[in-house]
A and B are shown apart, each in its own frame.
Chain A
Amino acid sequence: MATALDPHAAVVSGASGASPRLTTADGQPLARALARSSARARRRAFLLVAPLLLFVVVTFVIPIGQMLHRSIYNDGFSANMPQVSAWFAENPTGTQPDEAAYAALAADLTAAAEARTIGVVGTRMNYDVPGTRSLFTSTGRKARAGFEPPFREALIEADEDWADPTLWRAMRSASTAYTANFYLAAVDRTRDDENNIVRVPERQQVYVMLFQRTFWLSLLITGLTFLLGFPIAHLLATLPMRKSNLLMILVLLPFWTSLLVRTTAWMVLLQQQGVVNDILVWLGVVGQDGRLKLIYNQVGTIIAMTHILLPFMILPLYSVMRTINPSYVRAARSLGASSWTAFRRVYFPQTLPGLGAGALLVFILAVGYYITPALVGGSSGQLISNMIAMHMTETLNWSMAAALAAILLASVLVLYWIYDRLVGIDNLKLG
């Protein structure tokens, strides 16, 4: 004990080789003592955040994980049609369906009809070959009585579509629960008879165009919020407190207004017989028959989303601008810079952290925006999220919705990564 209390002895006692191991006064390794003494505090800190962690995991991480899983997994066909799925597994792609295949199909149809899962199967097939749901349900009604061999003839007699090679190709791809086909469909691709990835017919190409439109409009809206928000943020940051508070309320007003009120206001303002058009006609800018179409199209989406997302640009900019001491610009001016040079070289670079945060926020929100384009966008103002919503609520093709959402999520993450590489995430100032 006496040696352990000696500080020099304490250092040497644990020494083995090059680096001496420090110990506490009673001979324990210092690192372990430190870990033990701080463990309690760490445990208590963790308990404090545990409820939130649990909440986030249950309400956010698990659903997102499930959604991502659903985009590559759909057992609507394979679970309910086991025999024909097994036949597909045994016979390579391109094999013509033989009597055994039809026998398996007939047995599965009968079983599925008995178990009342034939609708699920029909819905699943309907994703790939539109109109097949009714084929399955109608054949299912006949299948309850059972089919007599030869099954091929029996089924084709029930409905001649059972001989359709497109249907068989679709059933083959649905026969495995795990599939990348939803992702292929989400980028307007499909598989041909030889299992090659090809583009879908031009008439059906919609998703790529919608993704492009979504990103282009989001970029445009981000740019517009910047152009409109920058001067306002500057004004907010430089006005005396009382005036800037009033202005801040005006900026935040879109946040506090009910969506329906806001939408109605836009309708009143923007429709062809609306306030804006009336004023333009009165001013003689446009003729009575040349009234502008400002709503229920892309213009409507752009105007409404710029309005609603403006605060997300203004607030980070404002919080950064408020911290910029006016003496910087004064210094630049006294050093010989014109007011424009002082702005460009000294003021603007210092607002970049706020601008970056605002732009990232607005862009990410815009990419996923759903309700506003749905209300004022018409058909040309629809974004990819409206398509996701349609698959969720109308076609009930959740796997497709999940695949589209996953692509959206991935591209936002890529953008975030690029931003991090270019600007640095630590340079982000949200408030």
Chain B
Amino acid sequence: MTPTGNDGFVVFDHVQKSYDGQTLVVKDLNLSIGKGEFLTMLGPSGSGKTTCLMMLAGFETATHGEIRLAGRNINDVPPHKRGIGMVFQNYALFPHMTVGENLAFPLEVRGMSKAERESRVIRALDMVQMGRFRTRRPAQLSGGQQQRIALARALVFDPQLVLMDEPLGALDKQLREHMQYEIKSLHDNLGITVVYVTHDQGEALTMSDRIAVFNDGRIQQLAPPSVLYEQPENSFVAGFIGENNKLPGTIEKLDGQRAEVRLANGELIDATAVNIREVGQQTLVSIRPERVEFKPDLMPAGTHTIDAEVRDVIYMGDILRARMKVAGSDDFVMKFRNTLGQTRLQPGQHIRIGWNPQDARALDPV
């Protein structure tokens, strides 16, 4: 469910946060999350994403600025009155209660009748296919099962907004992928708003409507996954999301969006100017390994090509990954599909590589 227009269900308005009065962990955060949106806060640890989530949940107070939920300022609302469901990294299932008691807890503190509680608990457990485990203790469940219970508990009292703090971090890869799918389908079916925090870019890309990439207390880019991946706005985002090749150089020619970049060894490449203003400026051209081509017929006409020397080729099953020496740097990577009749590159081989100018993005040098 993609949000239709942004009605600002959750709004961070000039929010700043400092723990010690010396440094800002969150620097002037402005973010508006639409109703029904699945928004992911992605970033390395210490980037301020979890702090933002905790401020939204009410466990941290904003040093400055305002956080609004459904139009209401919630800065001074204690966590238990915010009505926000939350899934924790370690699940935080109460170990001294059974699964059923865990789920009934939020209903009980809301003073719901026993019959109502029962039916809601059963409904929530069925929703995550855990109906059989009602009388078990959390310790008797596997990680994936605990994850489902934590999810059901955060949803059982019908919150409008659900926060998830790296909920899949402790699961193995296969289970994680499965749970990603389940969380996504729960989100689609229930129409809830989800704010999801993770440092796993794969998770962020597969699940989100929009991703806010955090670094150094700021949102570096806020965009849907495809835009974020294909059109990173700065070198941090380009480096953080997916694998990227970086070629440093100087702007030689600038014609609107189209730019030509002179590399250190004198070769010329094509690129799209992103945050570049003038000729002669230093730049870092970023290009995805899977967008690099070495067969001339796959490149647009008139593309500049450069010389590459194959260092090694790694067989990865579905794809092949070639590491090459390009423009004096040893770690230029190219990925190509492992199809029948694919050209097998050999170490030491010299090839000409090139790309569609749209795929190479000339960014500010870091």
Name A's B-contacting residues (CB within 8 A).
Answer: 325, 327-328, 330-339, 341-342, 345-346, 349-350
| B305 contacts the other chain (CB 8 A) | no
Within 8 A of A (CB), among B94-136: 94-96, 105-106, 109-110
Q: What residues of chain A lie closer than 8 Å to B57, measured between beta carbons?
A: 330, 334
Q: Is the CB of A325 within 8 A of B80?
A: no
Q: Is the CB of B92 within 8 A of A336?
A: no
Name the residue on B nearest A324 (C-beta): B95
Q: Is the CB of B106 within 8 A of A336?
A: yes
Q: What residues of chain B lie closer than 8 Å to A330, measured between beta carbons?
A: 57, 59, 79, 86, 88, 92
* A266 nearest CB across to chain B (Å): 40
- Which single member of B59, B84, B105 contacts A337 (CB below 8 Å)? B105
* A338 nearest CB across to chain B (Å): 6
Q: What residues of chain B lie closer than 8 Å to A350, measured between beta carbons?
A: 94-96
- In angstroms, Cα B86 to Cα A328, docked, is 11
Q: Is the CB of A327 within 8 A of B90?
A: yes
Name the residue on A nearest B96 (C-beta): A349
| B83 contacts the other chain (CB 8 A) | yes
Name the residue on B nearest A341 (C-beta): B109
Q: What residues of chain A lie closer than 8 Å to B210, measured between beta carbons?
A: none
Name B's A-contacting residues (CB within 8 A).
Answer: 57-59, 78-86, 88-90, 92-96, 105-106, 109-110, 153-154, 157, 163
Q: Is the CB of B105 within 8 A of A325?
A: no
Q: What residues of chain B lie closer than 8 Å to A341, measured between beta carbons?
A: 109
Name the residue on B nearest A349 (C-beta): B96
Q: Is the CB of B105 within 8 A of A345?
A: yes
- In angstroms, Cα B39 to Cα A308, docked, is 56
Question: Given contacts A331-B92, A349-B96, is CB(A337)–CB(B85) below 8 Å?
Answer: no
Q: What residues of chain B lie closer than 8 Å to A339, measured between beta carbons?
A: 78, 80
Q: Is the CB of A334 within 8 A of B96?
A: no
Q: What residues of chain A lie closer than 8 Å to B81, measured between beta carbons?
A: 336
- In angstroms, Cα B153 to Cα A335, docked, is 8
24 contacts between A and B (CB under 8 A): A325-B90, A327-B90, A330-B57, A330-B59, A332-B94, A333-B58, A333-B59, A333-B78, A333-B79, A333-B80, A334-B82, A334-B84, A334-B86, A335-B86, A335-B109, A335-B153, A335-B154, A336-B106, A336-B110, A337-B105, A337-B109, A345-B105, A345-B109, A350-B96
* A251 nearest CB across to chain B (Å): 27
Question: Given contacts A325-B92, A328-B92, A350-B95, is CB(A334)–CB(B85) below 8 Å?
Answer: yes
Candidate in B84, B92, B95, B96 with the most chain A CB atoms within 10 angstroms: B92
Question: Given contacts A346-B94, A350-B96, is CB(A336)–CB(B109) below 8 Å?
Answer: yes
Per CB-CB distance, the 9 closest pairs between chain A and chain B, nearest first, are A331-B92, A335-B106, A334-B86, A327-B92, A333-B79, A327-B88, A337-B109, A349-B96, A336-B109
Question: Given contacts A330-B79, A345-B105, A350-B96, is CB(A336)–CB(B157) below 8 Å?
Answer: yes
- In angstroms, Cα B80 to Cα A191, docked, is 68
* A352 nearest CB across to chain B (Å): 8
Name the residue on B nearest A329 (C-beta): B92
- In angstroms, Cα B96 to Cα A328, docked, is 11
Q: Is the CB of A327 within 8 A of B89?
A: yes
Q: Is the CB of B90 within 8 A of A334?
A: no
- In angstroms, Cα B84 to Cα A338, docked, is 14
- In angstroms, Cα B78 to Cα A71, docked, is 64
Question: Given contacts A334-B86, A338-B80, is CB(A328)–CB(B94) below 8 Å?
Answer: yes
Q: What residues of chain A lie closer than 8 Å to B88, measured between beta carbons?
A: 327, 330-331
* B134 nearest CB across to chain A (Å): 18
Q: What residues of chain B lie closer than 8 Å to A349, measured between beta carbons?
A: 96
Q: Is the CB of B94 within 8 A of A336?
A: no
- In angstroms, Cα B92 to Cα A327, docked, is 6
- In angstroms, Cα B96 to Cα A330, docked, is 16
- In angstroms, Cα B85 to Cα A334, docked, is 6
